[in-house]
Structure 1
Amino acid sequence: MSNIALTVACGHYDHMEALSRGIVQPTGIDVTYLANESPPEIFARMIKTNAFDISEMSLAMYFTLKSKGKFPYIALPVFPCRVFRHAYIYVNRNAGITVPKDLEGRNIGVQQYRQTAATWVRGILQNEYDVEMSGMKFVEGGVNVSRPPDEDLDILPNKKIQIVSAPEGKSINDLLIDGSVDAYFGARQPKCYKTHDHIVRLFPDYRKEERKFYDRTGIFPIMHCLVMKEEMHIKNPWIAENMIKAFEESKQWALARMRFTGTIRYMVPWLNHEIEEIDDMFINGDPYPLGVAANRITLETLMKYLVDQSFVTAQHPQLEDMFTPIVGWAE
Structure 2
Amino acid sequence: MKIGCFPYDTTRQLFETTSVETAATLPEIFERAIRGEFDVAELGLTFSLRLLEEGTPLVALPIFPNRVFRHSCVFVHARSGITGPGDLTGRTIGEFGTYGQDSGVWAKGILMDEHGFRPETNRWVIGGLEHPAEPFAFIPHPRPDGLDVTTAGKETLSDLLDSGEIDALFSANVPQCVLDGSPNVVRLFPDFAARERDYHRRTGIFPIMHTIVVRRDLLRDDPGLARRVYTMFEAAKDAAAERYRRGRRLYQVQTMLPWTNALVDDTLAEFGEDWWPYGISANRTALDTYLRYHHEQGLSSRRWRIEEVFTPELLGT
TM-score, normalised relative to structure 1: 0.90
Q: Give the whole-Å Cα distance in 1 for the aligned partners of 2:127 and 2:316.
A: 43
Question: 1:130-157: per-residue Cα shift (whole Å, max 9, x none)?
Answer: 1122210000111111122233424122
Hey, what does 2:77 align to over in structure 1? 92
The sequence identity of aligned pairs, in percent, is 33
Question: 1:169-203: per-residue Cα shift (whole Å, max 9, x none)?
Answer: x1001111111100001201111113311211111
Contact 2:42/2:211 (<8 A) preserved: yes
Contact 1:90/1:185 (<8 A) preserved: yes
Q: Does residue 287 of structure 1 match 2:275? A: yes
Contact 2:64/2:278 (<8 A) preserved: yes
Hey, what does 2:49 align to over in structure 1? 63
The answer for unaligned runs of 5 or more in structure 2 is: none
Hey, what does 2:261 align to over in structure 1? 272
Aligned CA distance change for structure 1 residues 315 and 110 (closer, same or farther; 3 Å): closer
**CA offset at residue 240 of structure 1?**
1.4
Contact 2:104/2:172 (<8 A) preserved: yes
The letter of the residue matching 1:113 is Y
Question: 1:302-324: per-residue Cα shift (whole Å, max 9, x none)?
Answer: 100011011113353x3123212
Hey, what does 2:286 align to over in structure 1? 298
Contact 1:257/1:265 (<8 A) preserved: no
3-state DSSP class of the match of 1:222? coil
Q: Give the whole-Å Cα distance in 1 for the aligned partners of 2:257 and 2:145.
A: 44
Hey, what does 1:35 align to over in structure 2? 22
Q: Give the whole-Å Cα distance in 1 for the aligned partners of 2:28 and 2:146.
A: 28
Aligned pairs for 1:1-331 (under 5 A) are 6-22=1-17, 31-47=18-34, 49-66=35-52, 68-111=53-96, 112-168=98-154, 170-193=155-178, 194-259=180-245, 260=247, 261-262=249-250, 263-284=252-273, 286-314=274-302, 316=304, 318-325=305-312, 331=317
The letter of the residue matching 1:70 is G
Contact 1:61/1:114 (<8 A) preserved: no
**CA offset at residue 69 of structure 1?**
4.0
Counting matched residue pairs gives 312
3-state DSSP class of the match of 2:213? strand
The letter of the residue matching 1:273 is A
Contact 1:292/1:320 (<8 A) preserved: no
Question: 1:237-283: per-residue Cα shift (whole Å, max 9, x none)?
Answer: 21111121111111111111122223523222111111112112224
The letter of the residue matching 2:27 is P
Contact 1:12/1:37 (<8 A) preserved: no
Q: Give the whole-Å Cα distance in 1 for the aligned partners of 2:144 and 2:188.
A: 29
**CA offset at residue 160 of structure 1?**
2.3
- Larger % of strand: which? 1
RMSD: 1.7
Aligned CA distance change for structure 1 residues 192 and 237 (closer, same or farther; 3 Å): same
TM-score, normalised relative to structure 2: 0.93
The letter of the residue matching 1:228 is V
**CA offset at residue 36 of structure 1?**
2.7
The letter of the residue matching 2:74 is I
Q: Give the whole-Å Cα distance in 2 for the aligned partners of 1:288 and 1:237.
A: 26
Aligned CA distance change for structure 1 residues 315 and 104 (closer, same or farther; 3 Å): closer
Contact 1:258/1:265 (<8 A) preserved: no
Q: Give the whole-Å Cα distance in 2 for the aligned partners of 1:222 and 1:315.
A: 17
